[in-house]
Amino acid sequence: MSSIEVKGLSKSWGEIEAVKNVSFVVPEKSFTVLLGPSGCGKSTILKMLSGLESVTSGSIKIENRDVTNLEASKRGVSMVFQSYALFPHLNVKENIQFGLKVRKVPAAEREKRVAEAANAVGLSDLLDRKPSNLSGGQRQRVALARSIVSDQSVCLMDEPLSNLDSKLRAEMRDEIRDLQQRLGLTVVYVTHDQVEAMSMADQIILLNSGQIVQKGAPEEIYNYPNSIFSAQFIGLPPMNILNLKKIDITDLSKENQKKIEISKNSINLGIRPEHLNFSKKGLPVTVKGIDYFGGETVFKISHSGQDFFLREPRQPKIHLDDKLNISWDPEDMHLFKKNNQRFTS
C-alpha cells in the first residue's frame, strides 16, 4: 500500500521552474530519500508535501486522500527541520507538547504521550532543560520527539543531520533508521549527502535541476546508474568516466573489447574506483597521487590526459610516477551514450 502518491508535481516562481513534473510513490512504512545537489528542488518538494509551500500544478495524495490544496496542519504529516525549529523560550517538555497543546489534547494523555516520545529518543532526563542547554544531538532528538508525539504516520525530514559533526551524524543516522522501523513511520528524508541516502534509504529518488534523474533502491542506483549524473553523484570517489576516443581499445581484455563494440554509439566508459585492479596487462596508466586512508588506499591515476581513481583495500608497494597497467571485469563496466544516458543492450 502506498502512503504518499505524487503525480506531475511542479512548482514555479514566475519564470523560474524549481520543480518540473515530478511523480513518485512512497510505500507505507518505508524510508524514502530525496537526494540531489543544492538547488535541485528537493526541499521545495518536501515543503509542498508538508503544505508549507503551494503547488503550481500536479497532485499529492497522502493515505489515499487528495491533500494538494489542504492546509499544512490537516495533512497528517509531521516535520523535522534542518535547524530543528525548537522554541528557544520553552523547555524540552513544552517543545515536545507544543502541538498537543495547540490541538487541546487532555493533560493526562499529553503527559503519557510526551513521556513515551521522550523515552523513545532517550530524553527522559532532560525534560526541564532549555534548548540552549542542549548539545546538537540532543536538540535533534527533541525535534524527533516532537515529530513522534504528534502521532502522524508520515514524517518529513529536511536535512536533519547537516548541523551535526560527522561522528554524531553517523550515530543519528542509525538512530533515525532504527526509530523509523520500530515505530513503523513513513519517512521522506531530504539530503544532499549520498552517504546518508545510501545507508538509510529503502528508496532513493535522485533529483537534478527540478527533475527526477533516477529512483530505486540504493543498490540498484549504485550498480545500474541510468546516467552519468547518477553514476557520479553516488559513490565516493565518484565513478570514473573515461572518454572512449582517448583509449586504445586493443589495450583492453577481449571480453571488454567485445562489450564496447556491441554498443557502437557509446562514447563514455564508466567504472567504479573499487572495480579497477593493477595488473600486468591492460590499460597503461601513470600514478599521480596516493591517498592512504588506513582501510583503503585511493590512487589518482592518469591515462592520455584523463585523471581518474583506483581504490585498493590494501596498501600495495606503488610509488608516485610509477607506470603500470590496469584492468577490470566486463560486468563492472558501464557504457554511456552521447546524451549521457546509460547504454543497455
- Which residues contact residue 58 at a Cβ distance below 8 angstroms, ignoring those fewer than 6 apart? 6, 7, 8, 9, 10, 21, 22, 23, 68
- C-beta of 99: minimal distance to other proteins in Å? 3
What character string, x for contact with other proteins (CB under 8 A) and - otherwise, covers 31-50? -------------------x
Applying the rule CB under 8 A, the residues between 126 and 185 that interact with other proteins are: 130, 132, 146, 150
Cα gap 335→343, rounded to integer Å: 5
The residue whose grid cell reads 535541485 is 40
41-56 in b/e burial notation, b at 16+ Cβ within 10 A?
bbbbbbbbbbbebebe
Binds other proteins by CB under 8 A, chosen from 37, 65, 85, 341: 85
Residues 92-131 as x/- pattern, contact with other proteins by CB under 8 A: ------xx--xx--------------------------x-
Q: Is 58 in the site for other proteins (CB under 8 A)?
A: no
Instruction: In whole angstroms, give the CA distance from residue 157 to residue 155.
Output: 7
Please pick, from the candidates 65, 89, 246, 281, the single residue that binds other proteins as defined by CB under 8 A: 89
Please report how close the Cβ of residue 85 comes to other proteins at its closest, in angstroms: 4
Nearest of 22, 19, 26, 27 to residue 7 by alpha carbon: 22
* Dist. CA 180–CA 85, nearest whole Å: 20
Q: Which is nearer to other proteins, 156 or 234 (CB)?
A: 156
x/- map, 306-325, other proteins, by CB under 8 A? --------------------
Under the binding rule (CB under 8 A), the answer on residue 16 touching other proteins is: no
Total chain residues near other proteins (CB under 8 A)? 24
The cell numbers describing 309, all together, are 581513481
- Least Å distance, CB 150 to other proteins, is 7
- In 3D, which of 79, 81, 77 has the Cα closest to residue 3? 77
C-beta of 247: minimal distance to other proteins in Å?
50
Sign of dihedral through CA atoms 120, 121, 123, 129?
negative
Q: Which stretch binds other proteins (CB under 8 A): 86-94, 170-178, 255-263, 302-310?
A: 86-94
